[in-house]
Amino acid sequence: MSHSAPNLSSKTVPTSGPITMVDAIRQAMFEEMERDPAVVAIGEDIGVYGGAFKVTDGLLAKFGRERVIETPIAETAIIGAACGMSFLGLRPVAEMQFIDFIACCFNQVTNFVAKSHYLWGAPVPMVIRGPSGGGVHGGPFHSANPEMYFVHTPGLKVIYPSTPSDAKGLLKSAIRDNNPVLFFEHKYLYRRLKEEMPPGDYTVPIGKAIVRRAGRDLTVVSYAAMAHTALDAAVELAKEGIEAEVIDLRTLLPLDKETILASVKKTNKLLVVHEDTRTGGIAGEIAALVFEGAFEDLDGPVTRVTALDTPVPYSPPLEERFLPNTEKVVAAARKLAKY
């Protein structure tokens, strides 16, 4: 198998210029499937239709039905089949049409996929990817952020990128990893921003956060769509003389503890922003981490801006009330900065 750049149709995957997150994920799939014949795609409507969000558009024409496998609407069967494929030497990438429905295969993911390596030494090189998140008025069954169920599951890795270049590089790393990886794709970001891809066959390391904006007055930790909300808030805060340092986690499991602690030790204040609901969200875990590792550096309470503890509303005004936004982040940061 050649390791040169894949021969892609420009109608399917742009080969130059800034591209969207959808295109970046598709590009990663094309490149990895061409690089490694063991990589296969499996899921509902991923072939002829090209996926609900067109992420897999063109894969069937390029790689054929043996490597682009369409399934019934049966998430448990998709994950069970993908797990079996991984035991036989393949590297399946399983799509959940909406990540909400990963709940249907929770037992497969948490009791079998996540534990197989620990129980009997079997690597499980598979990726479960799918659209997640709100902000598009999808309602309670198509807007979830269920990442913390799986962050709490030993044996898994959990990725949730915020940019096209990170999405591509992290998906390539996930496909090459010998552990099962959950790859969340925020659907609000799919086509709302474009970015130039780094040249060549690049990857982004799993488990490494990035400082998106340097600051001195407080640290804001976030990920996925809320990383952009945090950056927007930092711009507004700077107008008031408050310089916020913004960290984009990118990976939730394993968590980059070192980057978080180093920032808090510099700014002495921490605000965590996430779209997941409040109770049991990663903000609580990060708060505990900072209390244990940087308590004496804190000059104010660890603060959270999160979604409300309800299902995601369908009504646009109610969803807006439910979700964090720039105004809410600015207000919380302004209050924290006064300590």
- pLDDT per residue over 142-187, tens digit each? 999 999 999 999 999 999 999 999 999 999 999 999 999 999 999 9
Q: What are phi and psi of 310, to 5 degrees?
A: -140, 165
Q: Hey, what are 121's tokens?
A: 């030494």
pLDDT digits over 80-110, tens only?
A: 999 999 999 999 999 999 999 999 999 999 9
For the chain, percent of residues with pLDDT exceeding 90: 95
Q: Across the chain, what does the average pLDDT equal?
A: 95
pTM of the entire structure? 0.94
Rounded distance between C-alpha atoms, residue 117 and residue 115, angstroms:
6
Rounded distance between C-alpha atoms, residue 130 and residue 124, angstroms:
19
Q: How far is CA 30 from CA 20, 46, 55, 162, 299, in A?
A: 15, 13, 11, 21, 48
Residue 10 has pLDDT above 70, yes or no: no
- CA-nearest of 307, 284, 314, 304 to 145 is 307
Quick one: average pLDDT of 297-317? 97
What angle separates helix 326-337 from helix 225-238, to the nearest 10 degrees? Answer: 50
Quick one: average pLDDT of 249-261? 98
Residue 315 has pLDDT above 70, yes or no: yes
- Catalytic residue IDs: 142
What is the structure's pLDDT at 9? 44
Intra-chain end-to-end CA distance of the chain, in Å: 59
What is the structure's pLDDT at 17? 86
Q: What are phi and psi of 304, to 5 degrees?
A: -120, 140
Rounded distance between C-alpha atoms, residue 126 and residue 87, angstroms:
10
For the chain, percent of residues with pLDDT exceeding 70: 96
Quote the strand ranges of 31-137, DSSP E: 39-43, 68-70, 91-95, 127-132
Rounded distance between C-alpha atoms, residue 333 and residue 329, angstroms:
6
What is the structure's pLDDT at 15? 65
pLDDT band at 134 (very low <50, low <70, confident <90, very high): very high
What is the structure's pLDDT at 4? 35
Residue 279 has pLDDT above 60, yes or no: yes
Residue 291 has pLDDT above 90, yes or no: yes
What is the structure's pLDDT at 3? 34
Q: Hey, what are 5's tokens?
A: 């750049």
Asked whether the bond before 164 is cis by omega within 30 degrees of 0, the reply is no
Q: Hey, what are 115's tokens?
A: 């534990």
What is the DSSP code string of 175-235?
HH-SS-EEEEEEGGGTTT--BPPPSSS----TT--EEEE--SSEEEEE-THHHHHHHHHHH
What is the structure's pLDDT at 12? 63
Rounded distance between C-alpha atoms, residue 205 and residue 209, angstroms:
9
Quick one: average pLDDT of 291-301? 97
Rounded distance between C-alpha atoms, residue 310 and residue 278, angstroms:
9
Q: What are phi and psi of 203, to 5 degrees?
A: -130, 160
What is the structure's pLDDT at 111? 95
Rounded distance between C-alpha atoms, residue 194 and residue 169, angstroms:
15
Residue 132 has pLDDT above 90, yes or no: yes
Task: Point out which residues pair with 248 in neighbouring strands.
Answer: 210, 222
Domains within the chain, CATH numbers bracketed: 21-189 (3.40.50.970), 210-337 (3.40.50.920)
